[in-house]
Amino acid sequence: MLIPGEAMRLRIHIGGNDSFDGVPLVDAIVDRAREAGLAGLTAWRGIAGFGESAHVHRIDLALSHDLPIVIEIVDAADRIDAFLPAVQAMLGTGLITREAVTVLRYGAAT
């Protein structure tokens, strides 16, 4: 269980069309993080973004299906470091960042 204090945030930027072993990459990462028992994960679909190719993906009336997705995982540094190789093995292209964070609250109030 993650308690208030120093922790690590892993942020993963991918595309909505990215996949791993035939499933959407976001789902594969969520499933793998849950199996690893990580403290928590949130994924967001962006409204616009670009990456290495500089091709801009943005939402419009046609509702683009390849919008950017950002996945954030917060847990203890050693648990993030242990999970990182699995994420790196799943990514074809994307951006991964790791940064120290201070957890102020986790879970329900006691």
Q: Concatenate the DSSP letters of all residues of 45-92 into one string.
A: E-SEE--TT---EE--TT--S--EEEEEEEE-HHHHHHHHHHHHHH-S
Q: What is the pLDDT of residue 55?
A: 76
Query: Which residue range forms the structural domain that includes residue 74?
Result: 5-103
If one counts the domains in the chain, the total is 1
Q: Is the pTM of this model over 0.75?
A: yes
The verdict on residue 65 lying in a domain is yes
Q: Is the pLDDT of residue 103 over 60?
A: yes
* 61 within domain boundaries: yes
Q: What pLDDT, on a 0 to 100 scale, did the predictor assign at position 48?
A: 75
End-to-end CA distance of the chain: 14
Task: Provide the pLDDT for residue 60.
Answer: 66
Residue 109 inside a domain? The answer is no
Q: Output 84 or 40, whichever has higher pLDDT.
A: 84
Q: How many other β-carbons are positioned within 10 Å of the β-carbon of residue 21?
A: 7
The tokens 């991918």 sit on which residue?
14
Do the domain assignments include residue 42? Answer: yes
CATH of the domain at 94: 3.30.70.120
What count of residues does the chain have? 110
pLDDT digits (tens, 9 = 90+) for 23-68: 999 999 999 999 999 998 999 987 777 777 777 776 665 556 678 8
pLDDT for the residue numbered 64: 60
Task: Tell whether 110 is covered by a domain.
Answer: no
- Residue for token pair 């967001």: 44
Residue 54 placed within a domain: yes
In a domain, 44, yes or no: yes
Q: Is residue 98 part of a domain?
A: yes
- Tokens 């409204």 correspond to 47
What confidence score (pLDDT) does residue 21 get? 96
